[in-house]
Amino acid sequence: MKKSICIITLCVLLAVPATSHAVSGLFGAEGAIGWGQHAPIGNIAYKGESIDLENELGFDQESGLTARLKIEMPAVIPNIYLVYQPMEFEGTGSKSTSFQFGDLTFGANATLSSKLTINQTDIALFYGIPGLKLATAGVLDAELGLNLRLMDLKAQTVNVSAGSETLDFLFPPPMLYLGIQVEPPFIPIAFETEARILPYGDNHIYSIIGRLKYNLPLPAPVLKIFVAAGYRYEDIVFKDIEDSDAEITFRGPFLEAGFKF
């Protein structure tokens, strides 16, 4: 929670100078705070057999805050897109067979109290597709760039008899970023999709977001205040990172409120 507050505060502090320059036409800025639900499906292994997140560890759907800030820079300077997505799951369950997790062996049908935390920070540098927005009279826009994802993962399993074992690492995969925005004329809505992709050997990350925005009617033409609803899908597969393997899918809806200059 402390990390969430720090990231959200950083977004606000970055937005203040950006919005002042946006009024003069040098910069553009868009920021939003959201609330999303996410349910984990898949399995994880640490120096041993895999264990099912949903059926054996007892993880279920959770919800939490999200934050994002996009700054459009002038001339040839790349634009910046920051996204923070924290996720935390807790559950109680058991596995019908004994298994190894880290340096501990947990017995068959032993009661397991587990916690999984995945905090993801995306930092993207991107450019708009030249001439596309002008050629479509402002209806269609697209962005393409590189994204660095800082994935802070911590998985802990506890049993009264066997003890406690924790997997904890920071994984910084580079990814491709693609964003598409569609703003139909004469109506205050916009459709957006974002994709962050890393296909690499046996590892991959597919992160896809769809968003429907509604711009609130305001007298000031420079400022847009919007509310949005969307859906997030993430598929993460990694092999032999810090002696661990995982195949995890997260999915769920989200709501946002934000601004755009």
pLDDT grade, residue 25 (50/70/90)?
A: low
CA 107 to chain centre: 35
Could you tell me the pTM of the whole model? 0.87
CA angle at 37 for the pair 187 and 87, rounded to the nearest 5°: 125
pLDDT for res 13 = 42
The better pLDDT of the pair 231, 222 is held by: 231
Kindly tell me if the per-residue pLDDT of 7 is higher than 50: no
State the Cα torsion 62-209-34-155 to the nearest 10°. Answer: 40
Query: At 214, which CATH number?
Result: 2.40.128
pLDDT for res 113 = 96
Instruction: Provide the token pair at 143.
Output: 């962005």
Share of the chain above pLDDT 70, in %: 90
pLDDT per position as a tens digit, 137-190: 999 999 999 999 999 999 999 998 899 999 999 999 999 999 999 999 999 999
How large is the average pLDDT for residues 27-41?
A: 95
Kindly tell me if the per-residue pLDDT of 26 is higher than 90: no
Distances from the Cα of 247 to the Cαs of 11, 114, 206, 240, 244, in angstroms?
31, 17, 12, 12, 11
SS3 state of residue 135: helix
Q: Distance (Å, rounded) from C-alpha 31 to C-alpha 225?
A: 10
Q: How many domains does the chain have?
A: 1
Domain interval for residue 18:
2-260
How large is the average pLDDT for residues 182-204?
A: 93
Instruction: Provide the token pair at 245.
Output: 């393997």
Helix (H) or strand (E) holding 174: strand 174-182
